[in-house]
Amino acid sequence: MCPRSSCLTRAARAAAVPALAAVLGSLLSLAGPAAHAAEPYPARPVSLIVPFAAGGTSDVLGRLIADKMKEPLGQSVVVELKPGAGGNIGGEYVAHSRPDGYTVLYAGISLSTNVSLMKMNFDPRRDLVPVGGVAAIPHIVGTAADGPYRTIAELLAAARQQPGKLTYGSSGPGTGSHLAGELLNADYGIAMTHVPYKGAGAVYPDLIAGRISVLIDLFDSAMVHVKGGRVRALAVTSSKRSPALLEVPTLAESGLPGYEFVTWQGLFVPTGTPPEAIHKLELALDAALKAPEVQARLQQAGSVELARGAAEFGRYYHADVERWARLVKNGKIAPLP
């Protein structure tokens, strides 16, 4: 038998072991998230959410950008398509994702316009943070190559003489081709009738045949038909002429001062994402945009200058949201049903 004091000491030690293990377990469980958070970013692949359908400009450019961000980040950037609701489905998915830098949104101009045009289940101004701009792609104002309009002045004169008779096609309500036409109507006192289609490709047979007066389509999409001789390019919608189509004037040069419409694209992350992760994504995007393959693709798309850094692009984005909000508030553009 052990002395009474020795037995008590052994008993106390035995009782202390489980208690000590419990304390250590608690400390380890608390240290787990902290240790994970302390991992150098990025420690695993990054998801790039493209909220539009496969094969479009956003999908093509998004995949190229993702590939070129891989090297500066030191991790793969995996593209995931989440199309629908004018980009809102993918936007909402990212806005409600964990703000850790591993879920990035490849957004388009709908992230500006939808704030005022339709009901959204998130507020991109509050729930998302800009990382940087990618591209600002103008549209081409096109009409049938053998049609009656050779200049914007002729088109506008006909629209004013016959209100509502001239028509403009679009890829559907809320798309760039629709909003560019509405902006033209609103700012310059004309009344062309909107005819929505399910995609720009469906408009071209009617445009070429003269059943639709005009289509204001994305630059690279329209250029296929312009180069093929089936569509006449009357103007571009950017504030400056496109280097890829220097012979075609801007709308501002064609008697519509101040008109500018580009379909911008850029990256966003959920609000609350660590600043160091945003900074690394910003640097990786900047490196990707300097890659020769990306530069060539942007030139092919007719892209014009766009604010690129996080702060500058953020100011551009919020100004664009306010621009469309004013147009809706002033009754120049109606919210979508």
Per-residue pLDDT band at 39 (split at 50, 70, 90): confident
Largest Cα separation within the chain, whole Å, is: 116
> Cα separation of 298 and 53, whole Å?
19
With 60 as the cut, is the pLDDT of residue 27 above it? no
Task: Give the pLDDT band (50/70/90) at residue 55.
Answer: confident
Give me the residue spans of the domains in the chain. Answer: 46-137+263-329, 138-245
**pLDDT (0 to 100) of residue 32:** 47
Six token digits for residue 177: 């081709």
Q: Which pLDDT belongs to residue 315?
A: 97
Instruction: Report whether pLDDT(10) > 80.
Output: no
Could you give the CA distance from residue 16 to residue 32 in angstroms, rounded to a whole number? 24
- Strand 103-108 and strand 193-196: pairing? unpaired
Q: Coil, helix or strand for 144?
A: strand
**138-245 adopts what CATH topology?**
D-Maltodextrin-Binding Protein; domain 2 (3.40.190)
The topology under which CATH files domain 46-137+263-329 is D-Maltodextrin-Binding Protein; domain 2 (3.40.190)
**Average model confidence (pLDDT) across the chain:** 88
Question: Which H/E stretch holds residue 262?
Answer: strand 262-270
pLDDT tens string 130-161: 999 999 999 999 999 999 999 999 999 999 99
Q: Is 53 or 90 the better-scoring residue by pLDDT? A: 90
